[in-house]
Structure 1
Amino acid sequence: MSVFVSNTLYSFLISFGVIVGASSFAGIGALINNQPPLKTMIDLAQSVKIWAVATALGGTFSSFQLFEEGVFRGEIVLLIKQIIYILSALIGANLGLKFIKLFQKCGELWIK
């Protein structure tokens, strides 16, 4: 597998893992504090999405610096790669949120 494909996969899975992991531990914390765990998990997953993307990209400044080089120095390939990495991280974060919301849907089906 090429370096580009593996880095794209890493971006996706890291952002997905940040959302799912943070939400899971927030759910455990909500149980300990006698709060509704699913609501806490979903609220946290929505607020952590941008941080998951920043984590997956390895920090926002290096990503924006590479983005700037692509725009101002005319390196289109570098610019396209950065856009794909960012989109991959965004898709991973959104899919992580959908995965957490799936728990809520499964709970509703289970109760009925």
Structure 2
Amino acid sequence: MHVFFPKLVLIFFTAFGIMIGATLMGSLAALLMKEPPVATMLSLAKEIKIWAIVAAIGGSFSTFEILESGIFQGDLKAMVKQFFFILSSFSGTHLGYFVVVNLTGGKN
């Protein structure tokens, strides 16, 4: 148990950081190219959500392998852990998206 919760928090903040960092760097690139940075931030926030989730949990293949072993080998504990890791990643990504939308004054 002592490894599970730190990893859960790490995944959450990694997903959150990917969302915030990608949108901020994208808006900087838009500013350099004389494009509207706020619109770019909103667009990137919508487009990068799934990639932030996948990147935060360490790629999709290992997750699918663990889920497969849980289903076919009956390892329920591994499946539950992966579910919480995916949920943590989704939560961090959604919070990052929510922050970007509120900072830019945009709408979901």
TM-score scaled by structure 2? 0.93
Question: Could you list the per-position Cα deviations for residues 12-41 of structure 1 after superposition, in whole angstroms to 9, with x for gaps in the alignment?
Answer: 111111110000000101111111111101
1:2 corresponds in structure 2 to 2
The separation in 2 between residues aligned to 1:2 and 1:38, in whole angstroms, is 41
Q: Which position in structure 2 is the counterpart of 1:23? A: 23
Calculate the aligned-residue CA RMSD, in Å.
Answer: 1.4
Matches within 5 A, 1:32-111: 32-105=32-105
Structure 1: distance between partners of 2:103 and 2:52: 20
Supply the distance in 1 between the matched residues of 2:74 and 2:24 (Cα, whole angstroms): 43
Q: Which residue of 2 aligns with 1:11?
A: 11
Query: Aligned partners of 1:52 and 1:75: how far apart in 2?
Result: 27
Runs of at least 5 residues in structure 2 that lack an aligned partner in the other structure: none
TM superposition outliers: structure 1 runs of 4+ over 4 Å? none
1:79 & 1:20 partners in 2: Cα distance? 29
More helix by share: 1
In the alignment, the residues of structure 2 paired with residue 4 and residue 30 of structure 1 have an alpha-carbon distance, to the nearest angstrom, of: 39
> Given residue 62 of structure 2, which amino acid in structure 1 is its aligned partner?
S
Looking at CA atoms only, which structure, 1 or 2, has the larger radius of gyration? 1
Deviation at 1:59, TM superposition (A): 1.0
Q: Measure how far apart 1:102 and its partner are.
A: 1.4
Structure 2 Cα separation of the partners of residues 25 and 16 of structure 1 = 14
- Sequence identity (%): 37
Deviation at 1:42, TM superposition (A): 1.1
Q: Distance in 2 between matches of 1:19 and 1:32?
A: 20
